[in-house]
Structure 1
Amino acid sequence: MKIARAAFVAALALFGMVAIAAAQDVRLSSRDGGIEITGTLLGYDGQFYRVETIYGELTVDGTGVLCDGPGCPSLEDFVAEIEISGAPTMGRLLLPALVQGFARRAGYALDQDGSQQDSVTYHLSDQQTGRKAARFKIRLSSSDEGFADLLVNQADIVMSRREVRDQEAARARATGLGDLQATGQSIVIALDALVPVVAEDNPLGAISVPDLARVFSGEIDNWSALGGPDAPITPHVGNSDAGASQAVVDLLLSPVRADLAPAAVTHASTQAVIEAIASDPFGMGLVSRATNGANGGTRQLDLSGSCGFVLKATRRSVKSEDYPLTAPMFLYRPMRRLPQVGREFMDYIQGPAAQLVIRRTGLIDLAAEEVGIEMQGIRLANAIAQAGEEIGLETLQDMIATLSPLRRLTTTFRYNAGSTRMDAQSRTNLSQLAKALEVGTYDGRHITLVGFTDGQGAPDVNRAMALRRAKRARQAIWDQAMTANPDRVTIDVQSFGEAMPMACDDSAWGRRINRRVEVWVR
């Protein structure tokens, strides 16, 4: 009893509790009756109570207290409740598929409430007893509304087609939800890409990323600027959850100039964009790669550059971020405990079984794929074709000799502009690789981290810079793979600087694509 009281008093001290709040809907009392706290119950995860008091949110271990009041949950018939809110493009297909896959794998019976326009609810029950174990409610709103729901305690997890904004993260910190920008508070669960599309009979085959940005900002408004007829260009984007228009800004326009905004016809959905382009010979759209794949009447444009490189939105190029307009799908959660079934669900969606579910939805999973050098002829041809006087035959021969026995993983690390911090997709790649090392996936194998740069600057400086990035990536891997045995796998580093460009160096996008650390295995 003294131990329980001491733990309870310590919790009160931690949260600055110096007085007892006015009675609300629950009262938590230490078992000896010496300490009491009252407030509004925010949640119960089967072990811990979360209570809103006049002094802020308090988390209390239920084993040390008794609960009294109308808000107290039933301890015998506890049903875990997981509230998920945000982007409907994720909530209509991806999250339901993952909840269903999780239920099958964990051995739960699954029932679905009649779907409403703005939400869907799943009940997970024990197959033997029929006792309900969990309720997953998926609210279809928008990325913006998902973060807003989190701030007012109406969501445990946010589905977002974009990274959290600085002001949203600041509000979350101010309300006691922790730092949503910190490592571990968000994960990328699936990948999509923005692809430009035109009508099937449009003769244009490819467009550079800078020109694409100028089209969707209104700076280029006539096809003659792209080598076509003297006719106006009508750009189209979807705005079903604001995710598409936000992605246009984040991925396409902001790297050109921070103040650019989309100058396009907006539609209620990606499908509406595709239908508009199919009937408009002078239209150009930006749509989801996953949605566009099964539609006729439109044709996808490749991305090109003045040096002749062409980038296609393939599964592997999106996984490796070699395609510049990749669009990750995020789940965000605050720094608080989910019920056990919620924690198991979060573990499941990052595991190998979930990757098969994700791929079946038409999106791109995050499972690492190995690509032999024999399948990378275009990359090698580009390296030779673009090698200037500063990149000699000896460097190219050294690179081929080093990489030929290895296989490239689609796992790649890239960095935010002007920063040593990995971008969101790369941070998830890092976490996935660290977990693979911990479970022994690469035991007995040799991993080489290979650094590359753009062509700006002297070759010797670039090669040294790329080597430093590779070393930092190796340290970050070992920092996360805390239970991995370094005696079972070797990770070394190599650098070839600007010797293998993936894109033209004539734009910020191309230079970003070229600055990378690749992962190769033997």
Structure 2
Amino acid sequence: MKKSVLLFAALCVWTLMPRHFSHADNYFPTGTEGLLFTVQGSNTIGAHLAPAWAHAWLQQKGATNVMTQPTSVQNEMFVTGNIQGKNVTIAIHAHGSSTGFIGLLNGSADIAMASRSIKEKEVIALKDYGDMRSFSAENIVAIDGLAVIVNPTNPVDQLPVETVAQIFSGEIKNWREVGGPDRAIRLYARDEQSGTWDTFKNLVFSKRYSLSANAKRFESNDMLSKNVANDPSGIGFVGLASVNTAKALAINDNNTRALKPDVIYVATEDYPLSRRLYLYSPEQIKNPLVDDFIAFAHSRSGQEIVESIGFVSQNPTPLKVEKLNGPDEYRQLTQYAERLSINFRFKENDAALDNKARQDITRITQYIKNNDPSNIKVQLVGFSDTENTNSRADILSRLRASAVKIALFRNGIASEPVLGYGSNVLVANSRGSSRDKNDRVEVWIFDNKPTSLTPRTGQNLVVNIGNL
């Protein structure tokens, strides 16, 4: 593997030292100098978010004269600082998610940035580095909404996912076909290395469509957005932080409610084109400074930076919801409760909490403990994708809510008896590639005044397993 002699020497020093670094410490291993680590991959993360994290992390560690310096290569930069008279550097190369995993494999990167989850072929290629889907290797560090954007003067406000696919495949060629002006559509898309493109391809095309050869391709989200904003005929897709002066459309998926990429719907991943942003670090090659940097990205401070850049943080935020679809007792939640900006989701075809959900248990625990737990009631509401029978969907939705209840209980957080509404409120096409979005648990909080919800058709739907 190609590692600089300096980095190799530094790693040798680090492996002999304790592997815990407090964010409050003004501390680096003695003799630290030069390149600390390299972050490589997604332009969505690497353009603004990763440099902002690196800048803040170095400052928190006591570095002075911290600055971000672009290199002569587009989408590459150094974040530099001075520690006790010695210069330190974090290198960031943002050429697309796939390049991050290539960098891990060939040793040119310590962290892979990705705006989509690791692919099976990448897991296999990196198997000698440990399980890249494990809790320690895979880190969901932000939520992003894949925004479908048009020129601000375009009168079209919303589109179904299927129609977006038909537009970008070239089947729909004129805006008048979707309620717009009589004008040919011009397409703008991310390049093949991009995680944004990979996400769009999976969520929108679903192996049934392919991109028109007439689409203009971009390595940069911001450059794509600028071109669409200046083109009355244009349509493109970018990460949420790069909408800028373009107009984001509301999107719906197969008769579900059309949603714009607003904070509540992106944070809970209900928005059809929401996605997770990842940092991957191999289990078998642990650099304690890398571990500490990723822990900072997960922290409240790191998530505040996520929000300041224009993505959606994972810090729990109570939000008032004005309108809900679904059974009466579910809609009554809007009268006295607020919804937390976190949904719990699960491993594919499994009832076990996924890696994000495991982190979210800690986040919600800290949120409640910091906000007078004696005055907060927690209501967990489960949902399911469609199943063979409605009763099976109902049972699965309540069992998933019970799994979250148990995890919170182990952290000292009590909650109300769970509610489950099966497949009554779908947020994704149950036959599409995003159907797993329907398997979810919402978190609602309220004060001590309300004690119960009105049962549906006179029957209490509460599941109370083991008197938990």
Q: Is the 8 A contact 1:245 1:262 kept in 2?
A: no
Partner of 1:352: 300
Q: Which residue of 2 aligns with 1:521?
A: 445
> How high is the TM-score relative to the length of structure 1?
0.71
Q: Encode CA deviations 1:414-455: one digit per residue, 9 max, x unaligned.
A: 346655566xxx632431322552684474444332112356
Offset of residue 90 of structure 1: 2.1
* 1:317-328 correspondence runs (5 A): 317-328=265-276
Q: Work out the CA distance in 1 between the residues paired with 2:30 and 2:349.
A: 54
1:30-50 C-alpha deviation (Å, 9 max, x unpaired): xxxxxxxxxx958625342xx
Aligned partner of 1:262 in structure 2 is 211
After superposition, the Cα gap between the structure-2 partners of 1:166 and 1:455, relative to the gap in structure 1 and judged at 3 Å, is closer
The answer to whether structure 1 residue 434 and structure 2 residue 362 are counterparts is yes
Which residue of structure 1 lines up, in the alignment, with residue 189 of structure 2? 237
Bigger strand fraction = 1
Task: Give the aligned partner of residue 120 of structure 1.
Answer: 77
User: Structure 2 CA distance, aligned partners of 1:227 and 1:125?
Assistant: 57
* 1:130 matched residue in structure 2: 85
Q: Does 1:92 align with 2:47?
A: yes
In the superposition, relative to structure 1, how do residues 62 and 179 fare at CA in structure 2: closer, same or farther (>3 Å)?
same
| Distance in 2 separating the partners of 1:436 and 1:308 | 28
Counterpart contact for 1:186–1:331, Cα < 8 Å: yes
- Map residues 365-514 of structure 1 onto 2, 5 A cutoff: 365-371=313-319, 375-379=320-324, 382-383=325-326, 396-397=328-329, 399-400=330-331, 404-415=335-346, 420=351, 427-437=355-365, 440-441=369-370, 443-444=373-374, 445-454=376-385, 458-475=389-406, 484=411, 486=412, 489-490=414-415, 492-499=417-424, 501=425, 503=427, 508=432, 512-514=436-438
Name the SS of the counterpart of 2:168 in structure 1: helix
Q: Output the CA distance in 1 between the equivalents of 2:237 and 2:227.
A: 12
Unaligned runs of 5+ in 2: 19-28, 447-468
Counterpart of 2:301 in 1: which secondary structure?
A: helix
Counterpart in 2 of 1:20? none
**1:195-245 deviation per Cα after TM superposition (whole angstroms, max 9, x unaligned):** 222233333221111211222233433445434566543332133952332
1:161 aligns with 2:115: yes
RMSD of Structure 2 on Structure 1 (CA): 3.5
Residues 196 and 301, structure 1, Cα contact 8 Å, conserved in 2: yes
- Measured after TM superposition, the shift of residue 460 of structure 1 is 3.3
Matched, 1:181 2:121: no
Structure 1 SS opposite 2:200: helix
Tell me: higher relative CO, structure 1 or 2? Use CA pairs within 8 A at least 6 residues apart.
2
Q: Is the 8 A contact 1:42 1:153 kept in 2?
A: no
Whichever residue aligns with residue 335 of structure 1, its letter is: E
Post-superposition shift, 1:120?
2.6
- Is the contact made by 1:324 and 1:509 (CA closer than 8 Å) also made in structure 2? no
Deviation at 1:403, TM superposition (A): 7.0
SS at match of 1:469: helix
- Give the fraction of aligned pairs with identical amino acids, expressed as a percent: 22
Describe the SS at the equivalent of 1:310: coil
Q: 1:141 aligns with which of 95, 100, 107?
A: 95
- Letter matched to residue 352 of structure 1: R
Residues 195 and 286 in structure 1, CA contact (< 8 A), matched pair in contact too: yes
Matching residue within 287, 295, 310 for 1:362: 310
Partner Cα distance (2:349, 2:221) in 1: 33
| Letter matched to residue 518 of structure 1 | E
Q: Distance in 1 between matches of 2:174 and 2:348?
A: 31
Confirm or deny: 8 A CA contact 1:198 1:301 kept in the other structure. Answer: yes
Q: Is the 8 A contact 2:41 2:94 kept in 1?
A: yes
Q: Deviations over 1:50-103 (max 9, x none)?
A: xxxxxxxxxxx589xxxxxxxxxxx96244722211223322311121122123
On the 8 A contact 1:150/1:156 being kept in 2, the answer is yes
SS across alignment from 1:44:
helix
2:60 corresponds, among 94, 105, 112, to 105
- The aligned runs of 1:64-83 (5 Å cut-off) are 77-79=31-33, 81-83=36-38
Matched residue type, 1:122: V
Larger radius of gyration: 1
Contact 1:103 1:110 in 2 (8 A): no
Deviation at 1:335, TM superposition (A): 0.8
Q: What is the Cα deviation at residue 148 of structure 1?
A: 1.0
The residue that corresponds to 2:26 in the other structure is: none
Q: 1:277 aligns with which of 228, 231, 245?
A: 228
Do the aligned partners of 1:85 and 1:157 also contact (CA within 8 Å) in 2?
yes
Aligned equivalent of 2:155 = 203
Instruction: Point out the more displaced range, 506-515 or 85-94.
Output: 506-515
Stretch deviating more after TM superposition (333-342 or 437-446): 437-446
Cα contact 2:321–2:334 (8 A) shared by 1:
no
510 and 239 in structure 1: CA distance in 2 versus 1, 3 angstrom threshold: closer
Following superposition, the deviation at residue 246 of structure 1 comes to 1.5
1:408 CA drift (Å): 1.6
Distance in 1 between the 2:259 and 2:442 partners?
Answer: 18
1:396 partner letter: D
Q: d(CA) in 2 for partners of 1:304 and 1:141?
A: 30
Other-structure match for 1:44: 11
